[in-house]
Structure 1
Amino acid sequence: MEITISDRRDIKIEAILELYRANEWSSADKPNELYNGLINSHSLFSAWKKDKLIGIGNAISDGYLVVYYPHLLVHPDYQGKGIGQMIMDKMQEKYSHYHMQMLTADGKAIDFYRKAGFKRAGQTEPMWIYKGNEH
């Protein structure tokens, strides 16, 4: 299976929505906000099998010191094949020298991010105001 990781931003909204709906992410219910948020991220990496979008990850950053990874998802049909790690590797190529890399993980994502080198941040407690219900 040949997978290409790209930093292109000419991704059709329909492809993004298909990926998010396949993962049952509530952000798909706000298509314009989701699309604009991804396209205007500091970094955006996507995984492609030929012309099919099968994974995406973005980063929000001040460009110097701090980066936050809000989204990393892979189509369920392609999970467990190293695609998420390929996207995270691209993020690390760009941000590994930053002072602080942050994300929020839950469920199965916790083990994935631990394997990628992330750990619980001291005695912090994740907090949010969230409009979705999938967590």
Structure 2
Amino acid sequence: MNIYIGNDCHGRNWEEVAELLKHFGLSNASADDHRQAFENSYAVSFVYDGNEMIGIGRAISDGIFQAAIYNIAVTPRYHGLGIGRIIIEDLLGFVRHCNVILFTHPDKLEFYKHLGFRKMRTGLALYANEAKVEEMGFIE
């Protein structure tokens, strides 16, 4: 493997980003919507093996107190090789001085607990499409 990380949005294949997030049920948004979301983020992480994008993630933050990590996804054939950990550690490098919350698929909670994240008792959310988010299992 020839793993490297890109921390900018220049020259990324947004169709691949959209497909990767859709594959895991994290988003059905368009490639252009994802481009805008990643470009407006505080930090981004694109992991490649050679020329192949194999993982992504992003963080939003005020840069002082609060940050949130979103859209962590790794190509299925690279699961179990530490790529998810690489993405999280890379993003935390930008926001470790902040309180960091993480939004993920309910099936992945144990993975993030293993990385040191703790389940919150005080987290609440308002969603633009509550019915869809409930159907996906993100809210009770």
Do the structures match in fold with TM over 0.5? yes
- Letter in structure 1 aligned against 2:14: I
Cα shift at 1:86: 0.3
Q: Which runs of 5+ in 2 are unaligned?
A: none
Take 1:130 and 1:114, find their aligned partners in 2: how far apart are those partners?
27
Cα shift at 1:95: 1.6
Distance verdict in 2 for CA 1:2–1:130, change over 3 Å: farther
Q: Which runs of 5+ in 1 are unaligned?
A: none
Aligned residues: 132
Indicate the residue corresponding to 1:128 in structure 2.
Answer: 126
Distance verdict in 2 for CA 1:47–1:106, change over 3 Å: same
Q: Secondary structure at the match of 1:119?
A: coil
Deviations 1:13-60 (A, max 9, x none): 222223223334333x33321221012211001110111111101001
Within the alignment, does 1:82 sit opposite 2:82 as a pair? Answer: yes
Take 2:77 and 2:25, find their aligned partners in 1: how far apart are those partners?
13
Distance verdict in 2 for CA 1:108–1:49, change over 3 Å: same
Take 1:125 and 1:25, find their aligned partners in 2: how far apart are those partners?
19
Within the alignment, does 1:67 sit opposite 2:67 as a pair? Answer: yes
Instruction: Give the structure-2-normalised TM-score.
Output: 0.82
Q: Secondary structure at the match of 1:48?
A: strand
Is 1:67–1:95's contact at 8 Å kept on the other side of the alignment? yes
Within the alignment, does 1:17 sit opposite 2:18 as a pair? Answer: yes
Indicate the residue corresponding to 2:36 in structure 1.
Answer: 36
Cα shift at 1:125: 4.3
Take 2:35 and 2:72, find their aligned partners in 1: how far apart are those partners?
14
Cα shift at 1:130: 5.2
Is 1:23–1:76's contact at 8 Å kept on the other side of the alignment? no
CA RMSD between the two structures:
1.9
Indicate the residue corresponding to 1:26 in structure 2.
Answer: 27
Indicate the residue corresponding to 1:109 in structure 2.
Answer: 108
Take 1:85 and 1:42, find their aligned partners in 2: how far apart are those partners?
19
Q: Secondary structure at the match of 1:113?
A: helix
Instruction: Give the structure-1-normalised TM-score.
Output: 0.84
Cα shift at 1:5: 1.6
